[in-house]
Structure 1
Amino acid sequence: MPQTRHITFILVEEFSHLAFSCAVEPLRIANLVSGEELYRWSFVSEHGEQAVCSNGSITLVHSGLQGLAKCDQLFVLSGIHMRDHVTRPLLATLRRERARGTKIGALCSGAWVLAEAGFLDGMQAAIHWEYHDAFMEAFPEVNLVRSVFVADEKHITASGGTATADLMLHLIERDHGEELAIDVADQMVYNAVRNATAKQRVSLQSRNGMRNAHLSKAITIMQDSIETPVSPSFIADELGISTRQLERLFGKYLNTSPKKYFMEMRLERAQKLLLQTEASVTEVAVACGFENPGHFSRVYRSSFGVTPHAQRNKID
């Protein structure tokens, strides 16, 4: 009879209920279809009574941080506003467990917590795409990837949502073979299981019904040049087409111009950095390719109806 693996989930306040279900249900189903207790699990919160997820649901837990039992795998599961819930007791517990030899991973925005603890330096890690810009600014020493999960590092990380199910199915396959993982996926009616290298966000082509390689490449160039913006003529030269052709592509598929699209992309990143990081308005401006803070403030207000300083004050 296989040895039962014990997995503990630290539920950080405002954790993702979707990621939570996608983490636990594959384990339950693995036990069900195998007819054996392959896995058991425990829930932990800082205060040891309950944890409230982002949709308001309340989950009763088995213990607090001080009562953590020995386990085979520990996952930190958080969700929105994770920075507000990274406490000293939580970080101390994680460091104590690491010294104890516990395998520690993170789900959804939990990679932020591990990075705050200093666990991910020099490693690849995955986090929900919504936090990518802020994470890269806060933790440049971590090799953040856009994959749905990372399972071949010391600290396993998954980007949240259904990516958590992908990770759990990967772990079930690793522990008990491909056949059981397929059976579990079938029980979940989950026929689009992704491997670790799959990207989180749906491709631009899929979102817009496009199959134009030039347009896709142009947007990739923009994404890679946010800190040092390039001109439409430069992008066109890189693609080997005329600036006029580039303008027509953006007009046909996106109903906008390359210049306007690029500006909106930079401002969207600026908004995320203002809302998710402690970087100053000037630092955010520079990170998004604005050399003049005054110009940045004007275009930001024109786009979002508030100045960057007012945007920051909304969350203070």
Structure 2
Amino acid sequence: MLVPGFALMSYAAAVEPLRAANVLSGRPLYDWWHAAPGGGEARASNGLAILTDVAVGAPVPGTERVFVCAGGNPAAFDDPALSAWLRGLARRGTSIGGISGGPYILARAGLLEGRRCTLHWEHVPAFEALYPGLDVVRSLFEIAGDRMTCSGGIAALDLMLSLIERDHGPALARGVSDWFLHNQMREGLSPQRMDLRLRFGVRDPRLLRVLAAMEANLETPLPREALAGLAHVSARQLERLFHDHLGCGPHRHYLALRLDRAHQLRRETSLPASEIAAMTGFASADELSRAERRRARRAEDAPVGSAGED
């Protein structure tokens, strides 16, 4: 089930392992169909179009699993007919899955209640704000009975390898993984994001502790003294660590994290500005707006490649 603006990488990583399983086994173990709201063709975020062959609402006898693949801004997508169709499929025993932003569509249809789920890390803050009662984890994929959720990207390949192993054994799953030069079959609970050391090119354990604490405390930012305490250095030494390794001070880095989160929430939810401000550590919507304007001005004034002053 392709939602307009779906991520082509996620779609291909989900379908191609099934094709490879057919080729390597020499048998038609899997076949699949495509559907999209309104029928016709489904257009990916990069503009590529895929023709559909099943209409939303149509009976699909023999279908064991249906995956909803979405990207872009899935929180803005609302199709009651699709939600009703998915609920009907679930009642008839079809396993329902969501890939990348697809869990948004499942949650809107009420299909994730009481199930642990995951989705792409970029969508998580807005998703948790809209569906606070759901059990969200930041894993590659989750299989919770007849519900499957996947963070997207190449994690869809890992999900499909797990399903192929369940369906037809580990030897075929390993063969498919090897076919795609995927030399490590990752478990569902593996982390989505790159380790902080690799993401920032930092190896200093003091700085890594502070970076992790910043990302975990956006709603209530930690004061500089507390951050310095985590690193077991003085506030002045913390400033030096940040400038030496990241090219900016801790205040600038922390502020950028909070502003990025606010941008995500504004793009993917209809939450009022005051609530977004509170969720990102700003005293008011006006304070958030001023911080965003200051960053925009700095970006316009800074030379290309410059980190700017803190």
Is TM (by shorter chain) over 0.5?
Answer: yes
2-side partners of 1:82 and 1:208: how far apart?
Answer: 29
Q: Does 1:46 align with 2:11?
A: no
2-side partners of 1:271 and 1:83: how far apart?
Answer: 14
1:160 equivalent in structure 2 = 152
1:124 positional shift: 2.0
Q: Does 1:21 align with 2:19?
A: no
Give me the CA root mean square deviation. 1.7
2-side partners of 1:78 and 1:169: how far apart?
Answer: 20
1:305 positional shift: 5.0
* Residue 144 of structure 1, aligned match among 136, 139, 146: 136
| Count of aligned pairs | 297
Cα deviation, 1:154-188, whole Å, max 9, x if unaligned, reads 41111111110111011111211211111111111
2-side partners of 1:203 and 1:31: how far apart?
Answer: 35
1:228 equivalent in structure 2 = 220
Identity %: 36
1:276 equivalent in structure 2 = 268
Moved more, 31-40 or 76-85: 76-85
8 Å contact kept, 2:164–2:172: yes
Q: In structure 2, do the counterparts of structure 1 residues 305 and 132 end up closer, same or farther at CA, with 3 Å as the change threshold? A: farther
1:295 positional shift: 2.2
Q: In structure 2, do the counterparts of structure 1 residues 144 and 228 end up closer, same or farther at CA, with 3 Å as the change threshold? A: same
2-side partners of 1:193 and 1:252: how far apart?
Answer: 37
The residue type equivalent to 1:174 in the other structure is R
1:189 equivalent in structure 2 = 181
The residue type equivalent to 1:282 in the other structure is S
1:132 equivalent in structure 2 = 124
8 Å contact kept, 1:44–1:68: no
Q: Does 1:37 align with 2:48?
A: no
Moved over 4 A (4+): none
2-side partners of 1:69 and 1:118: how far apart?
Answer: 21
1:259 equivalent in structure 2 = 251
Moved more, 121-130 or 16-25: 121-130
Q: Does 1:78 align with 2:70?
A: yes
2-side partners of 1:155 and 1:233: how far apart?
Answer: 45
Cα deviation, 1:179-206, whole Å, max 9, x if unaligned, reads 1111111111222432212211212201
8 Å contact kept, 2:221–2:281: yes
Q: Does 1:301 align with 2:293?
A: yes
2:107 equivalent in structure 1 = 115
Q: Does 1:103 align with 2:95?
A: yes
SS at structure 2 position matched to 1:56: coil
Q: Does 1:68 align with 2:59?
A: yes
SS at structure 2 position matched to 1:40: coil
1:47 positional shift: 2.5
Structure 1 unmatched runs, 5+:
1-9, 307-316
TM-score by length of 1: 0.89
Q: Does 1:170 align with 2:156?
A: no
1:83 positional shift: 3.1
1:152 positional shift: 3.7
SS at structure 1 position matched to 2:277: helix
1:153 positional shift: 4.8
1:116 positional shift: 1.0
2-side partners of 1:226 and 1:299: how far apart?
Answer: 15
Cα deviation, 1:85-134, whole Å, max 9, x if unaligned, reads 32011111111112212111111110111111122234321111221221
8 Å contact kept, 1:124–1:153: no
1-side partners of 2:297 and 2:73: how far apart?
Answer: 23
The residue type equivalent to 2:77 in the other structure is H
